Amino acid sequence: MPDSQLSNSLHDRFIANLDFLASNDAAEQLAQINRGIEKEGLRVNQAHELATTPHPQLLGSALTSSWITTDFSESLLEFITPVHKNIHDSLDFLADAHGKVASLIDNEDIWAASMPCALPTDEKIPLAQYGNSNIGTMKTAYRRGLGYRYGRAMQTVAGVHYNFSLPDAYWNLEYERYCNQLNQADTAAGTFSNTRLRHYTDTRYLDLIRNFRRNYWLLIYLFGAAPCVDASFLEGRPHNLDKTGTRDYGMPHATSLRMGDLGYQSAVQKSLFVCYNELNNYIATLQGAIKTPYPAYEKIGTLVDGEYRQLSTSVLQIENEFYSAVRPKRVTQSGEKPLHALRDRGIQYIEVRCMDIDPFAPLGISEETIRFLDTFLVFCLAYPSAQCDEAEFRRIGENQARIVKFGRDPDLQLDQHGKLINARQLAADLLGKMQGVADALDCANQNTKPNVKANQKHASALATQREKIEDQSLTPAARLSHELQQSGSSFLEFTAAQSARFMQQHRARNISSQRNNAFNNEIAASQKLQKEIEQNDSMNFDEFLKQYYSR
C-alpha cells in the first residue's frame, strides 16, 4: 500500500476510535481511569549529602508497608498511593504521606530532584535492609547485585512511576465493538468469553505500550528535569559531560540525563530485543534473560565468602532488573513471580517509568502533568499500533538517546521509519492528534456531550505542552538550567533550597485525624507482619533461593 493510502487508513481508523471514545458509554468509563503513583525521594542531611542513617523505624517496615518503603538504598524513600479514580484523591494521599514522613524525620529533607545529592564513595551508599526473613534477605541480595553490576551511585537516581489502567467495564465495551466490527458473536447469554476478553485486553494494552515506546521521547522532552549532575555522581565513571559550574556537569541541550547512559541504562540490556507484540513473547524474552548466564556477571560470583553478591549470574537476576520506560504489570499474590502473574491472569495495568521528579512541584508531579499523561496514554491506545520489529526497536532506542542529550536543540532530528524529521515538528503533530483525546477526556469528566464547552483541564494541559514545543525555555530542564545560570547556584545549592522549602510545606500539612490514624495503624501492622514472616520461615536462604528459581 502506498504511504499516502496507509496514512489515510491510519487516520480513518484513529477518527473512528475517537468517535468511540466520545460515545456516552465509553465516556462514562473514561471518567473511571485507575491511577496510582510511586514517587521516590532521597533522604538528605543538612549538608546536602546523602543521609546514610537507617530507614526510620517510625515509618514502619520497608518490607511490608503499603505506603512507604525503600527502593535501592536505605536512603531512598518510595511513596506509594493506593489506586484512585480521582486525580485529587491521588495527590491528596501523596501530600499526606509526605506530611506524615516529614513529621517523623528530624534534620533531614527529601531531595527534590531525580539526580542525586552529594554522594559518598560507592561502597558507603547503604543498601536497603528488609530484616532477616528469606524474602527480606533476597531483596537486599538483589540490590547488592545491582551495585556490583551497575554501581551503587546509579541506583540513587530517583523518579516518579505512574500506574494507569482502564476499568473492566471499558474493556467490555471495546471488546463488544470489536466483535461487532468483525461480525462475530462472542457471547453466551450476554456474557463474554473470559478467556477471549482477557486476550483482547492484553492485546490492546500491548498496542498502547508499542505506541508509548514510539512516542515517549516526547515525555522526556516535555518533562525531563535532569540536564546536569553533581560531580560526586560521576566519580570513577566515564562521561562526556561539560563542566558547567564548580561542581556541576551537564550538556547544553540535555533534557533528562537520568534516562541516558548515566542513568538506568545498561549495555547488556541494550542487546536484548524485548518484544511487545505478544504477551507470551514478552514473558519468554525476560524469562530467557533470567536463565542466560552472562560472562561478566559470572566473574562477580554469587555466594562469595558467605555473602550473596547477587542472586544469579544471569543477564537479569529477576524481572524487575529490566530497565524499561514502560512495563505491563499485574498485582502479584504472595510468593508469586511478576511474570507468572502476567502469564496466568494477564495485564492489569501499565507502569510508566520515564518521568523525572519535577523540582518545581512539591510532590514531584502536578495535576496538570497527570492530566497530560492520561491524554498521552489514551492517545497511545486509540491510535492504530503496528507490530514492532527489531529494527524499529533499535530506532526507538536511538531516538531516546538523541532526545536525552540534544532534546532542546531546535534543529534536532529524529528517525521516523528511516527518515530524519525535525523533532519539534514531530512533537507539534503528535500534540495536534491528541486534541480529540483531550476533548473526550474533558467531556467524560464533566459528563457533557462532545463539542459542548466543559471544564477543559485536559485540553489546558495539552495547551501548556504546546507552549513548551514553541519555546524550549519553558521545559523543566531549561528552567532548571536558567535558574542555575541566573542565581550562580550549583545544582546542589538550588535543589537543597527547593527541598527545604517543600519540607516546610510538608511539615505544615494538616492531615486529617482519620488519615493520620490510618498511617499509624499501617506502621504498626507492617512491623507486626514483618515479624510474622520472619518467624514463619521454614527453610534456610540457600534452599529458599533454589526453590524460587526452580518454580
pLDDT greater than 50 at residue 412: yes
Whole-number pLDDT of residue 277: 96
Q: Model confidence at 504, in pLDDT bands (50, 70, 90)?
A: very high
The C-alpha cell that represents 213 in the structure block: 515506546
Rounded mean pLDDT, 420-437? 97
pTM of structure: 0.95
pLDDT greater than 60 at residue 4: no
pLDDT greater than 70 at residue 486: yes
Whole-number pLDDT of residue 188: 46
Rounded mean pLDDT, 231-252? 93
Whole-number pLDDT of residue 335: 81
Q: In 10 A of CB 7, how many CB atoms?
A: 11
How many Cα atoms within 13 Å fall on the side-chain side of residue 462?
A: 25
Which is more confident, 302 or 334? 302
Distance CA 37, CA 481 (A): 27
Helix (H, G, I), strand (E, B) or coil at 131: coil
pLDDT greater than 50 at residue 1: no
Whole-number pLDDT of residue 445: 78
User: What's the mean pLDDT when you consider all of the chain?
Assistant: 93
Rounded mean pLDDT, 79-96? 98
The C-alpha cell that represents 337 in the structure block: 513471580
Helix 194-215 × helix 367-382 angle, to 10°: 110
pLDDT greater than 80 at residue 228: yes
Q: What domains does the chain contain, in order, with CATH numbers?
A: 34-165+480-551 (3.30.590.20)
DSSP 527-542: HHHHHHHHHH--S-HH
pLDDT greater than 70 at residue 212: yes
Percent of the chain exceeding pLDDT 70 equals: 95
Which is more confident, 264 or 234? 234
- Give tens-digit pLDDT for 454-480: 579 999 999 999 999 999 999 999 999
Q: Model confidence at 182, in pLDDT bands (50, 70, 90)?
A: confident
Which is more confident, 246 or 1? 246
Whole-number pLDDT of residue 187: 54
Q: Model confidence at 262, in pLDDT bands (50, 70, 90)?
A: confident
Rounded mean pLDDT, 321-343? 93
Q: Model confidence at 189, in pLDDT bands (50, 70, 90)?
A: very low
Rounded mean pLDDT, 411-436? 96
CB-count burial class (<10 Å; 0-12, 13-18, 19+) for 351: middle
Rounded mean pLDDT, 331-347? 93
